Chain A
Amino acid sequence: MQQQPEAIITQIFPDLPLGRWAQLVAITVKQDDLYTVCTQLRQHPSLDFDMLVCLTAVDRTTYLEVIYHLRSTSRNHDLIVKTELNEAQPELPSMVPVWKSAELFEMEIYDMFGIVFKGHPDLRRLFMPEDWEGYPLRKSYNANEVADNYLKSHQLLINQ
């Protein structure tokens, strides 16, 4: 069964607000401290979070929330790290030097939300075509009627 790392987290990071996200222990980190906190989480011997299980984002209309779900295979505990971003200019440092699984996750988030990860080796649109405009998973994006416009503009319709 999974264990909860609350005690160790409060010991090593005493000034980070601790909470719960879906019954997992969660800490909220500011944008500028994110890289140092994540490197410490990876390398500290009693934490040893060596797997980035998932990296996702939620559009909360006033701000963008980015969520890192970390797991330690040796200590058998999970942790959630949250940051909040401004929608006007969302930027974050890339976690690829720390966990290799971040490469594909960050490309997907750039494609769907428009968050730029500085230092990523190959940041490009992953799912949508290269010349797509807009970020589909934002709440302000309207999903209807974009498909026919794309087909028309690329001369793919049969009776054009």
Chain B
Amino acid sequence: MENIIGSQIIQSSDDEFIINVGPQHPSTHGVLHLQLKLDGEKIVDLKPFLGYIHRGIEKMSESLNYKQFIYLTSRMDYLSAHINNQACCLAIEKAIQAEVPERARVIRTLMAELARLTSHQLWWGSTGLDMGAVSPFFYAFREREMILEIFEETCGSRLTMNYCVPGGVMNDIHPDFVRKVKQIIKQFRDNLHEYDELLTNNPIFQSRTIGVGYLSREEAISLACTGPVARASGISCDVRKKEPYDAYDRVTFDEIITTEGDCFARYKVRLEEMKQSMNIIEQLIDNIPAGEYRTKIKGIIKPPAGEYYQRVETARGELGIYLVSDGTNKPYRIKFRTPNFSNLGALKPMSLGGKIGDLVAIMASLDLIIPDIDR
């Protein structure tokens, strides 16, 4: 066994210098521990150490029933918590073959796109913060707070809103919802030029991100990267287009694909995705169908024995839920295929040969959420 199991530190010679980045570090977006082997300031080797926020969600789900484990998934990728809950509800509805009313589908899609907007806004703010610019942080949170107010009025909570239930949504939207969402979208569109003025056209930001952290198309496929990381390298992988779920089959939007594959390309892809999210919201907000917001499901959910699979597009990539059921009211095994887990594999090939400052820029552009990796 000894010669198969890898060692816990990197082997090095006398000239090389090993440093630890994290687990407590302002720019690691969570508790990510990296060991770097440096030759001067050039990175020669990189080894990630995970598990600092591993809470055993998959094992816990085997002891909770089908309605209870959904709310643990909010804590995995907490910036698109609604989309994680939506994925679980879709998987359970596929298993018990429940019909979801049209109104609930449209409401779920609207909240998912608003969640995607808040996630990208926070990403933009923290990207500026990592590069040394402090103002974008406050601008991003100004817009984000407006959307979080809507979440609080509709769902009761700002961050981990447990709004999706198997069969629809937990409660109907309040009467002021449509007017407020339209107001926010209009205000955000008017303010979007500030984002370009602050960061996109900034020469310091451009020199730190253009040409840095190149990821080729073949490497991105082999590493199973999804989301904006893959779309910036030329792979078409948006789940909302490949396997539409909820109300995505009745809206038109573009899938943003570029081929440069560097940090600036990933940045531009996410900025454009924000605009596409606003287009989707505008198409749906005026035509919310009337009807029920939830179908009646039996109190104890017992899917028939077998395996079920559902995938959705979160703000960071493709989330896949594999549900193995044995006919009882508790799942036998649940596997969450999270997008950040595979995107982390892209960190090493992108940063070898670069400097530590480039490593910070690359981590900011990958947009990792560490509890999503560790679950």
Contacts and interface: CB of A to CB of B under 8 A. Distances in A.
| Same complex origin of A and B | yes
Interface of A: 1-2, 21-24, 50-54, 56, 58-59, 67, 69, 73, 76, 99-101, 103-105, 108, 116, 118, 120-130, 136-137, 141, 143
Given A59-B333, A104-B342, 18 more contacts: A22-B308, A54-B322, A56-B322, A58-B324, A58-B332, A69-B337, A73-B236, A76-B242, A99-B222, A100-B223, A104-B344, A116-B4, A122-B6, A123-B6, A127-B51, A128-B51, A130-B8, A141-B59
A2 B8 CA distance: 41
Nearest to A91: B4
How many B residues are at the interface, by size bracket? 35 or more
Given A52-B224, A116-B4, A126-B50, A21 B242 contact: no
Contacts, number: 97
Contacts of A127: 50-51, 54, 374
A108 B56 CA distance: 12
Interface of B: 1, 4-8, 47, 50-51, 54, 56, 58-60, 63, 219, 221-224, 235-237, 242-243, 306-309, 318, 320, 322-324, 332-333, 335, 337, 341-342, 344-345, 374
A143 B242 CA distance: 39
Given A22-B307, A56-B335, A126-B51, A101 B6 contact: no
User: Which 9 pairs between the two chains have the least Cβ-Cβ distance?
Assistant: A122-B6, A127-B51, A101-B224, A22-B309, A127-B54, A22-B307, A54-B337, A124-B6, A100-B222
Contacts of A51: 221-222, 224
B56 A143 contact: yes
A59 B59 CA distance: 12
A1 B242 contact: yes
Secondary structure at the A interface, as helix, strand, loop or mixed, is loop
Contacts of A105: 341
Contact of A120 (B4, B222, B242, B307): B4
B308 A1 contact: no
29 contacts: A2-B243, A22-B306, A22-B307, A22-B309, A22-B323, A23-B308, A50-B221, A50-B222, A51-B222, A53-B224, A53-B318, A53-B320, A53-B337, A54-B322, A56-B335, A58-B333, A100-B345, A101-B224, A105-B341, A122-B47, A123-B4, A128-B51, A129-B51, A130-B8, A136-B59, A137-B59, A143-B56, A143-B59, A143-B63
